[in-house]
Amino acid sequence: MNPLSIARRPRSPFIRSERSVRDIMRDVLMALVPGALVALWLYGSGVVFQIGLAAASALITEAALLALRGRPVRATLQDHSALLTGILLGLSLPPLAPWWVPVTGAFLAMTFGKQVYGGLGQNPFNPAMVGYAMLIISFPREMTLWSGTFGDSPSFSTSLTALLTSPDESWWDSIARATPLTLLHDGLKTTMAKGLPLPDPALTASILINLAYLTGGCFLVFRQALDYRIPLAMLIVLLAGHMTLQTFGGGLLGSLQQLFLGSTMLGAFFIATDPVTAANTPRGRWVYGAGIGAFTLLIRSYGNYPDGIAFAVLLMNFAAPSLDALTRPKAYGHS
């Protein structure tokens, strides 16, 4: 036998997907379009500013750090992963946050969430959520500057003013609108407990945007760009857990509403499913998704922050390596 043939023998996996990282990332970017358009319609041009600034900052940071590490810059940037991180972060930010929020957030995400670990594929935590968590811990006031609801989006000049200048409190009080989850979190809890419904325009906006992300997510499942197990497990646990809480008097919403509030659908289909930081085995993915759903519900119901997707995802990112080790499928022929 020719000794060279051992070295030249192709290595597993023998069945390969023809799709590259770049193709999958492009699919994900396309699937984000409906959600982004609905966000633009509801929250005004601030959405575009946030996405643009976060994406630009993510790309520039990634390029600078790749150059510092002596890695190929252009080829790596073309896998679109930095772009996707920036866009996901931009979509999670409040549309009227000042310009330095997306810029700092994307910088921190790419630096401390990705490149310090060695770049794409090596990062244990979802970079976009690392950036988001750092921002919401450091700048709690700026991270709650939501404005606009169904049929009441802030004008272009308002968005620009909020982005470039730091307006005072009274200016904010005139335009800021709390999100349904924030309303639930502070103050309205008492009203909700009495069975009063949420204010309608805010709720409609939240449901519309979540439906748009759900559409994009279904497109990705159809294209097999993501594993249906993670979002399905997360949504089932969120719903079932919420109904359980309601039975014991803890839940504050109609049962289906929990699924269409905050960034539930964005988190379920676009953030929890990040192939690098999620669990990899089929059974591990069920557990991983279920864990995110459970943590989200717990943080929403009992935590300090109105929405808990980011922290839930980061917590389960911690668990993913152990989940993979515990749920490794048995090799054929082994008992």
Residues that bind another protein (CB under 8 A): 7, 11, 104, 112, 116, 134, 137-139, 141, 166
Please, what is the minimum distance in Å from the beta carbon of residue 284 to another protein?
23
Shortest Cβ distance from residue 134 to another protein (Å)? 5
Q: Which residues pair with 169 in a beta bridge?
A: none
Helical segments of 187-228, H only: 188-193, 200-222
Residues 193, 163 contacting (CB under 8 angstroms): no
Residue appearing with tokens 């504050």: 252
- The angle at the Cα of 9, spanning 3 to 11, to the nearest 5 degrees, equals 140
Nearer to another protein, 138 or 255 (CB): 138
Cα 264 to the chain's mean position, in Å? 9
Give least dist CB 8 to another protein, A: 8
Q: Which is nearer to another protein, 97 or 202 (CB)?
A: 97
What does the alpha-carbon distance between residue 85 and residue 215 come to, in Å, rounded to a whole number? 20
Question: Which is closer to another protein, CB of 70 or CB of 329?
Answer: 70
Q: Residue 330 has what DSSP assignment? A: P
CA–CA dist 110, 130 (Å, integer) = 9
Q: Are the CB atoms for 294 and 123 separated by under 8 Å?
A: no
Q: CB-wise, 137 or 243, nearer to another protein?
A: 137
**In the complex, what is the shortest distance from the CB of residue 138 to another protein, in angstroms, rounded to a whole number?**
4
Between 112 and 150, whose beta carbon lies closer to another protein?
A: 112
Residue 192 phi/psi, 5° resolution? -60, -35
The nearest distance, CB 113 to another protein, in angstroms, is: 11
Q: Which is nearer to another protein, 12 or 170 (CB)?
A: 12
User: What type of residue is 317?
Assistant: N
Minimum distance between the CB of residue 140 and another protein, rounded to whole angstroms? 8
CB of 283 to another protein, least distance (A): 27
Q: Which is nearer to another protein, 288 or 305 (CB)?
A: 305
* Residues in Cβ contact with 85 at an 8 Å cutoff, skipping those fewer than 6 apart: 58, 106, 109, 110, 113, 114, 127, 128, 131
In whole angstroms, how close is the CB of 66 to another protein at the nearest point? 16
Pick 13 or 333: Cβ nearer another protein: 13
Listed in sequence order, the DSSP H helices in the chain are 4-8, 21-43, 46-68, 73-77, 81-92, 100-113, 127-138, 156-164, 169-175, 180-185, 188-193, 200-222, 229-247, 264-266, 282-302, 309-326
Residue whose CB is less far from another protein, 95 or 119: 119
Residue 79: phi and psi, rounded to 5, are -80, 0
Q: How far apart are CA 234 and CA 267, in angstroms?
A: 9
User: Least distance in Å: CB of 7 to another protein?
Assistant: 5
